[in-house]
Amino acid sequence: MWKYEKRLQYPVNIKNKDIRLAKILVTQYGGSNGELAAALRYLNQRYTMPDNRGKALLTDIGTEELAHIEIISAMIYQLLKGATPAEIKAAGLDPHYAEHKNALYPTDANGVPFTVTYFATTGDPLADLSEDMAAEQKARAVYENLIDLTTDPDVLGPLLWLRQREVVHFNRFKELYDAYKKELK
Amino acid sequence: MNDYNMMNNIMSNFFNPEDLYPQAQMHEMKNEMPMKKDEIGTPKEGYTLGNLFVNTYIPYKNYMPQKLVAHNEQEALFLQMSEVAFAAHELNLYLDLHPTDQAKLKMFNQFRKKANELRTQYENQYGPISINANVLDNSPFLWEELPFPWKGGIQ
C-alpha cells in the first residue's frame, strides 16, 4: 500500500502566471515520456522482475515518479492560477478550458489525452529494463526541450532538478540491466 | 568546461564547509582524479543537484541548479528535512541493488534516523506531514486544516 506525505519532494513556488508554459509543461504529466507513464510503467513491470533487486528498484523508483507527478502538477496549477478565460483564449488553451476550465488533465503538449499504450510490459526483464532506460533518456530530453523554452527561474529550478532525477534513475536501471544481462542465461 | 569542472564550480559557488553533515563520510571538494562513481555528497549538495552521487551529476548547458533559500525558521527546518530525506532515498535506491554494502547501509540509517527526527520536530512545531504524526492528537483535525503542498512556498 502507499501512504501520502503532505509535502513536495522538491519545492515549487512559481510567482508569475504563464499559460503558454503550462500548455507545454503538461506533457511531463500526461505525455508519452511523462511522469504518469513512468510511474505506471515501473509499478506494472515490477511484479515479474526475476529477483528482489528488480522488485525493490521498480517499486521505489515507481513511487518516486508519483511524487514527480505531484511536482509537475503543482507547477501547472501555479502557472494557470488566476488565469482568466480571455487570457487562456489568447494563449491558445481555450480547447482545454472548454473541457476542464482551469483544472488539471493529463495530456501531452498537443492536448492528446494520456494513454497506457505509452508503455509496455513484456515479462522479459531485459526488454522491460531497456524500455525503462530509454524512458529516462527521453524524459531527460523533454525536460531539456522545456528548459530551452522558458527563462523563468522559478520554473527552471524544478525542471533542472527533475531532469537530474532522470539521470540518476537511468544509472540505476542500467546497473540492474547490466547485472541481469551477465547473470541471466 | 567539462562536467567535472562544472560540478566543482557549482560546489564551490553553492556550498560552505559549515553546511557539511559531520556524521557521514563526505565527498571532498578536491580536483583529484580518478573519481569514484559512488561518491556521496552532503544532503544539501545532493538535494541541490538532484543527485547525491555527485560524481555522476550531468549539467545541462551552462545552467546552474537552483539555490533554495529559507526565509524563516520554518522553511529552514523544512528544507533540512527535505535534504536529509532525499539523501536517505538516494541510498535506498542504491541499496536495492547492493544490499550487502555495509558502509552505504550505515549511511542510509544515519540519514533515515535524522530525517525521521527532523520530520517529527517539524510536525510538532508546524503540523503534520505524515498521517502517523503524533501532533494529530490536537483538535481540530490538522491534516485537513493546514495548506496542501501545491499552494507554493517552501512548506
pLDDT score, position B29? 43
Q: Report the chain A residue with the minimal C-alpha distance to residue B142.
A: A6
- Does some domain include residue A97? yes
d(CA B38, CA B104): 10
- Does some domain include residue A1? no
Same domain? For B52 and B78 the reply is: no
Q: How many DSSP H helices and E strands does chain A contain?
A: 8, 0
Residue type, B141: F
In chain A, which among 80-139 make CB contacts under 8 A with chain B?
A: none
Same domain? For B103 and B129 the reply is: yes
- Does some domain include residue B38? yes
CA distance A42 to chain B (A): 14
- Does some domain include residue B66? no
pLDDT score, position A65? 98
Q: What percent of chain B has pLDDT over 90?
A: 72
Q: Is the pLDDT of residue B35 over 70?
A: no
Q: Which residues of A touch B91 (CB under 8 A)?
A: none
Flag whether residue B69 sits within 8 Å of chain A, measured between CB atoms. Answer: no
| Total structural domains within chain A | 1
- Does some domain include residue B61? no
Q: What is the mean pLDDT of residues B6-25?
A: 50
pLDDT score, position B58? 98
Q: Which letter does DSSP use for residue A124 in this model?
A: -
Q: Could you tell me which residues come within 8 angstroms of residue A122 by beta carbon, excluding any fewer than 6 positions away?
A: A128
Q: Which of A139, A131, A125, A142 is nearest to A167 (CA)?
A: A139
Same domain? For B97 and B38 the reply is: no
| Total structural domains within chain B | 2
Query: What is the extent of the structural domain holding A152?
Result: 19-183
- Determine which of B40, B55, B63, B150 to mutate to test the interface with A (most A C-beta atoms within 10 Å): B150
Q: Is the pLDDT of residue A141 over 90?
A: yes
pLDDT score, position B32? 47
C-alpha cell at B72: 524563516
Cβ distance A132 to A57 under 8 Å? Answer: no
Same domain? For B42 and B83 the reply is: no
Q: Could you tell me which residues come within 8 angstroms of residue B127 by beta carbon, excluding any fewer than 6 positions away?
A: B133, B135, B142, B145, B146
| Cβ-defined contact of B97 to A53 (cutoff 8 Å) | yes
The ipTM is: 0.97
- Does some domain include residue A4? no
Residues recorded for chain B: 155
d(CA A140, CA B140): 43
Query: What is the extent of the structural domain holding B126?
Result: 73-151
d(CA B94, CA A57): 9
pLDDT score, position B38? 77
Look up the pTM and report it: 0.91
